[in-house]
């Protein structure tokens, strides 16, 4: 289950690159399904919104699936340091946008996206997905009393490490947890 969850998170985190490419190139649903006259006649913005709804819906599904993962507890005093991490990943995603805007054709997009997907899946310890922000999640870098550095995705607003008690955080991997809250 964890492997499938990580695949879904990786797709959700990287799919915006493809969507931006399609929007920049004016690729609409009508171009994917030319035999369907209704889709061909839709305004472009409808296609673009529908493209965006797919990763948003899949992110929602991943949130609903998170209780299937193993869980951990963080008691009062377990967390010694906390840092808000929402803005620290913005440069990475702006990089995806610039790459998507500079790719010239679908073959190059497929190659670049495949490499990005594989590298993200294999190397990503954090599973930062900007679409979690749409669902009201915050991102935190936390340090435990044992010195472990952990990435926490949570709907709660944390400020003081000594006040943090997490009764159930679902383990995405050894360094990344999601708290549905």
pLDDT tens digits, one per residue of 73-95: 999 999 999 998 877 777 777 77
Q: What is the residue extent of each domain of the chain?
A: 2-179
Residues linked to residue 178 through DSSP beta bridges, in sequence order: 153, 170
Spatial CA neighbour of 145 closest among 82, 53, 80: 80
What does the pLDDT read at residue 107?
A: 94
Percentage of the residues of the chain whose pLDDT score is greater than 70: 98
Q: Could you read off the pLDDT of 7-56 as tens digits, one per residue?
A: 888 898 889 889 999 999 999 998 888 898 888 888 999 999 999 999 99
Element (H, E) at 12: helix 2-25
What does the pLDDT read at residue 167?
A: 93
Total Cβ atoms within 10 A of residue 59: 24
């Amino acid at each position: 289950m964890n492997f499938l969850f990580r695949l879904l998170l990786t797709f959700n985190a990287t799919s915006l690159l493809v969507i931006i490419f399609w929007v920049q190139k004016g690729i609409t649903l009508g171009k994917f399904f030319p035999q369907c006259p209704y889709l061909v006649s839709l305004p472009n913005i409808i296609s673009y919104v529908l493209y965006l709804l797919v990763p948003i819906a899949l992110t929602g599904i991943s949130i609903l699936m998170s209780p299937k993962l193993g869980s951990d507890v963080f008691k009062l005093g377990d967390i010694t340091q906390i840092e808000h991490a929402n803005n620290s990943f913005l440069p990475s995603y702006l990089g995806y946008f610039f790459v998507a805007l500079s790719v010239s054709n679908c073959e190059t997009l497929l190659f670049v996206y495949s490499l990005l997907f594989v590298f993200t899946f294999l190397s990503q310890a954090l599973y930062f997905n900007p679409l979690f922000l749409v669902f009201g999640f915050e991102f935190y870098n936390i340090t435990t009393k044992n010195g472990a550095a952990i990435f926490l995705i949570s709907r709660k607003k944390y400020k003081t490490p000594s006040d943090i008690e997490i009764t159930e955080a679902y383990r995405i991997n050894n360094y990344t947890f999601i708290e549905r809250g």
